[in-house]
């Protein structure tokens, strides 16, 4: 008689994860970390390797995958996208009073990383179609002190990089892409994250490819590689020492500890290797929402995401734009009553406490202010089932307002 197949340790942990998530407040959560399959095996391998600090074999494997798949000069794994942005700001040698143009419709780290170095943020509004930086407003914000433009590829849909690069090039300004949401996305056939001299990726658990907390700095201008290695290693030339290029390592420059443990890199490696499968799942989820909400949205004056034909999106999220703040809040409540968690973001940065300290006032970025009130993100994670998606859709189309 054949022995009954023992459930794998990984499957047991995954089921426990689902059960404990389900016991949390929502029947359908907004996000649940999903597993590719070999995470635990790889973590065991990292332990067996005897190298669990940074820059071990799995870190190198992850970096090689990113460099190959995205075609970038150099990828350095770091502890978060926030830290990748902070490294970018250090690499640009920003000085007190330098200016950086950032969208107001963005995450705190997008701007904070540059403010930490003494830069002054100038907030730019967004386009109505993609909710990306409105590149037509760039020229009027540029001054002799502008050192960087930071496009955020919202929902992984590419910003208008041709125009942004042309303007930045003409004024000698660096472009740093915040590609936290755009891994595997493309603009005119080229991967997001490979346009600016530097770009930042996120592997936070709310993203498609994850390791809990993690990120990568993509370096497209090779002149930044040597210094980036130093900044990432506490301001020392330890990377060169480990490669045998110097016989001791010492303090060379500014820096901090931006390396993730190889245990996290092992987790990430499993996810990166399953990149295609993850993308297929996310595409299926995104298309399901679009297919089942199209008619309802058109009827009720709700807008669904728009992806220009020259952009390939990585299916990072599905959002809807309700007619007003009141309907958005009412829909959140309506979904919560069915134990479905939907969320919104971003709060306009120019109107935040810090934003106001830099002179931000109501009306500076009118579209950001409007969209921030109307946008709602639906549950979206790799293992979201069609059954749960059907419940979400059913709850949404049941929602009425006058």
Ligand X SMILES: Cc1ncc(COP(=O)(O)O)c(C=O)c1O
- Residues forming contacts to ligand X in the complex (CB under 6 A) are 80-82, 106-107, 109-110, 152, 178, 180-181, 202, 204, 215
The CB-of-287 to ligand X minimum distance in angstroms stands at: 23
Question: How many residues are listed for the chain in this entry?
Answer: 402
Structure tokens at 127: 């386009």
Alpha-carbon gap, residue 112 to 256, rounded angstroms: 16
**CA-CA-CA-CA torsion for 62, 68, 69, 75, nearest 10 degrees?**
50
Rg (C-alpha) for the chain, rounded Å, is 22
Q: Which is nearer to ligand X, 204 or 292 (CB)?
A: 204
Q: Which is nearer to ligand X, 110 or 368 (CB)?
A: 110
Q: Give 153-206 as a DSSP string.
A: -GGGPPP-HHHHHHHHHHHT-EEEEE-TT-TT-EETTEETTSSSSEEEEE-BTT
Q: Which is nearer to ligand X, 82 or 389 (CB)?
A: 82
Q: Which is nearer to ligand X, 305 or 334 (CB)?
A: 305
**Which residues touch 93 (CB under 8 Å, ≥6 apart)?**
none
The CB-of-388 to ligand X minimum distance in angstroms stands at: 23
The CB-of-309 to ligand X minimum distance in angstroms stands at: 24
Q: Which is nearer to ligand X, 109 or 313 (CB)?
A: 109
The CB-of-383 to ligand X minimum distance in angstroms stands at: 20
Alpha-carbon gap, residue 194 to 198, rounded angstroms: 8
End-to-end CA distance of the chain: 65
**Which residues touch 387 (CB under 8 Å, ≥6 apart)?**
none
The CB-of-200 to ligand X minimum distance in angstroms stands at: 7
Task: Return the DSSP state at 257.
Answer: B
Q: Which is nearer to ligand X, 183 or 285 (CB)?
A: 183
The CB-of-301 to ligand X minimum distance in angstroms stands at: 27
């Amino acid at each position: 008689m054949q022995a009954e197949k023992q459930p794998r340790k990984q499957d047991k942990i995954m089921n426990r994860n689902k059960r404990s998530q389900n016991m949390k407040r929502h029947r359908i959560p907004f996000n649940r970390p999903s597993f590719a399959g070999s995470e635990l095996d790889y973590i065991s391998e990292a332990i067996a390797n005897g190298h669990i600090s940074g820059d071990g074999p799995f870190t190198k494997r992850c970096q090689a995958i990113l460099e190959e798949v995205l075609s970038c000069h150099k990828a350095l794994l770091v502890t978060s996208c926030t830290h990748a942005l902070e490294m970018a700001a250090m690499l640009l040698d920003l000085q007190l009073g330098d200016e950086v143009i950032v969208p107001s419709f963005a995450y705190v780290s997008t701007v904070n990383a540059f403010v930490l170095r003494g830069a002054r943020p100038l907030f730019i509004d967004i386009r109505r179609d993609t909710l990306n930086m409105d590149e037509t407003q760039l020229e009027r914000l540029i001054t002799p002190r502008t050192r960087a433009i930071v496009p955020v590829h919202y929902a992984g849909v590419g910003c208008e990089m041709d125009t942004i690069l042309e303007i930045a090039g003409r004024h000698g300004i660096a472009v740093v892409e915040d590609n936290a949401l755009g891994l595997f996305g493309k603009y005119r056939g080229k991967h997001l994250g490979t346009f600016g001299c530097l770009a930042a990726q996120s592997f936070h658990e709310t993203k498609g490819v994850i390791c809990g907390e993690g990120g990568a700095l993509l370096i497209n201008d090779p002149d930044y590689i040597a210094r980036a290695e130093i900044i990432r290693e506490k301001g020392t030339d330890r990377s060169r020492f480990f490669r045998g290029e110097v016989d001791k390592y010492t303090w060379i420059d500014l820096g901090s500890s931006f390396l993730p443990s190889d245990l996290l890199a092992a987790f990430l490696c499993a996810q990166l290797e399953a990149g295609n499968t993850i993308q297929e799942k996310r595409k299926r989820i995104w298309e399901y929402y679009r297919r089942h909400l199209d008619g309802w949205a058109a009827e009720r004056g709700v807008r669904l995401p728009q992806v220009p034909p020259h952009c390939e999106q990585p299916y990072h999220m599905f959002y809807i734009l309700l007619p007003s703040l009141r309907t958005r809040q009412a829909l959140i409540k309506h979904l919560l009553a069915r134990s479905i968690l939907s969320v919104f973001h971003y709060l306009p940065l120019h109107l935040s406490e810090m934003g106001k300290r830099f002179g931000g006032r109501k009306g500076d970025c009118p579209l950001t202010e409007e969209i921030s009130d109307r946008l709602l993100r639906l549950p979206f994670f790799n293992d979201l089932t069609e059954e749960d998606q059907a419940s979400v859709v059913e709850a949404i189309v049941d929602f009425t307002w006058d």
